């Protein structure tokens, strides 16, 4: 397959490009192709004639979404709709991403693809709008993949890195720090997500519409942080705190675990989050003598 990828420098984009595949990848930089330039998107699709377009671009810095919702809607909704339309007109499979933040968190068991989405902040609202817009113009050639708490080697530049690296940095700086114990999530490795995305688009029966793809299991950010500290053997204490579902003055879903029901029915599952975290830490930290030497390891 020939795959046009938008977002090559991001966590998921770079993980997709790191996989060994037989596919032909066309991966322009953001300077070469800005998703907000619909004319340029159409021209690029016409030029390369891909079988699939994977869009990992997003405006997903939450405080920025609250401050400038017009920017969030431009990238997460209007641009997604325009790309969906261009893909439909040229017969290209469109794969794009969304978030667990389309849910309000009132459930206490994993959200399936069939649960009603009722977002509670501008970011989630812009993502749900993007899902609806893409599916309204191209219901039969769009795959929307919702994921959660993504961490990849590159780190999300627009969010100031990824959660795992930021907690390791906290451990370098502090003997003790606080972490929220009031949000239950499905942290997901960008590498596992990339593998699952390819399995899905290669599957002859993938169909269209919304899929959930996350690592198995669930935990709070506090529990996830304790595992980072334990797996690396760091000499740091973490204290659980309850922020009452508020962080940075924004409402966040207190429970946003996703169930991969549609992908599982096709035989596509991701590893448990603990295995994914071990793989990430082993690859990024334990295999790098220079990084390892800097860490405050327990005696």
Footprint on this chain of ligand NAP (rule: CB under 6 A): 6-13, 30, 34-36, 56-58, 60, 75, 97, 99, 147-150, 156-158, 190
Q: Which is nearer to ligand NAP, 216 or 237 (CB)?
A: 216
CB 102 within 8 A of CB 131: yes
Q: What single string gives the DSSP state of each residue in 22-83? A: SSEEE---TTT--TT-HHHHHHHHHHH--SEEEE------HHHHHH-HHHHHIIIIIHHHHH
Q: Which is nearer to ligand NAP, 158 or 239 (CB)?
A: 158
Which residue reads 């979404």 in tokens?
Answer: 65
The strand ranges marked E within the chain are: 2-6, 24-26, 52-55, 93-99, 142-147, 150-151, 176-180, 184-185, 188-189, 209-212, 219-220, 237-241, 246-247, 250-251
Q: Which is nearer to ligand NAP, 127 or 237 (CB)?
A: 127
As measured in angstroms, the least distance from the Cβ of 14 to ligand NAP is 8
Which residue reads 């940095």 in tokens?
Answer: 169
98/211 Cα distance (integer angstroms): 10
Q: Which is nearer to ligand NAP, 247 or 296 (CB)?
A: 247
As measured in angstroms, the least distance from the Cβ of 39 to ligand NAP is 13
As measured in angstroms, the least distance from the Cβ of 60 to ligand NAP is 4
- In angstroms, how far is the first alpha carbon of the chain from the final one? 51
As measured in angstroms, the least distance from the Cβ of 175 to ligand NAP is 27
Q: Which is nearer to ligand NAP, 8 or 262 (CB)?
A: 8
Q: Which is nearer to ligand NAP, 44 or 181 (CB)?
A: 44
Which residue reads 């790191």 in tokens?
Answer: 18
267 φ/ψ sector (left φ>0, alpha ψ -120 to 50, else beta)? left
31/291 Cα distance (integer angstroms): 32
Residue nearest to ligand NAP (CB): 10
214/207 Cα distance (integer angstroms): 19
Q: Which is nearer to ligand NAP, 204 or 248 (CB)?
A: 248
As measured in angstroms, the least distance from the Cβ of 32 to ligand NAP is 9
As measured in angstroms, the least distance from the Cβ of 205 to ligand NAP is 24
As measured in angstroms, the least distance from the Cβ of 297 to ligand NAP is 27
10/152 Cα distance (integer angstroms): 8
């Amino acid at each position: 397959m020939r795959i046009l990828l938008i977002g090559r420098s991001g966590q998921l984009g770079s993980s997709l490009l790191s996989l060994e595949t037989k596919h032909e990848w066309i991966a322009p930089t953001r300077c070469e192709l800005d998703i907000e330039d619909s004319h340029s998107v159409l021209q690029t699709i016409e030029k390369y004639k891909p079988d699939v377009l994977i869009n990992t671009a997003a405006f997903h810095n939450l405080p920025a979404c609250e401050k400038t919702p017009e920017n969030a809607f431009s990238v997460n909704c209007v641009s997604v709709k325009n790309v969906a339309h261009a893909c439909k007109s040229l017969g290209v499979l469109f794969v794009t991403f969304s978030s667990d933040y389309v849910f309000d968190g009132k459930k206490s068991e994993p959200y399936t693809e069939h649960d009603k989405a009722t977002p509670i902040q501008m970011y989630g609202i812009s993502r749900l709008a993007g899902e609806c817009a893409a599916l309204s113009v191209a219901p039969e050639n769009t795959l929307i993949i919702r994921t959660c708490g993504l961490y990849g080697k590159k780190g999300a530049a627009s969010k100031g890195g990824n959660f795992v690296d930021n907690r390791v940095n906290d451990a370098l700086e502090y003997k003790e720090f606080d972490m929220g114990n009031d949000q239950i999530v499905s942290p997901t490795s960008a590498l596992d997500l990339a593998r699952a995305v390819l399995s899905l688009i290669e599957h002859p029966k993938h169909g269209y519409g919304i899929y959930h793809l996350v690592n198995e299991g669930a935990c709070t950010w506090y529990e996830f942080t304790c595992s980072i500290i334990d797996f690396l053997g760091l000499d740091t204490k973490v204290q659980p705190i309850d922020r009452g579902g508020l962080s940075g003055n924004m409402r966040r879903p207190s429970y946003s675990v996703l169930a991969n029901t549609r992908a599982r029915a096709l035989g596509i599952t991701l590893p448990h989050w603990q295995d994914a975290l071990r793989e990430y830490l082993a690859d990024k930290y334990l295999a790098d003598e220079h990084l390892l030497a800097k860490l405050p390891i327990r005696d």
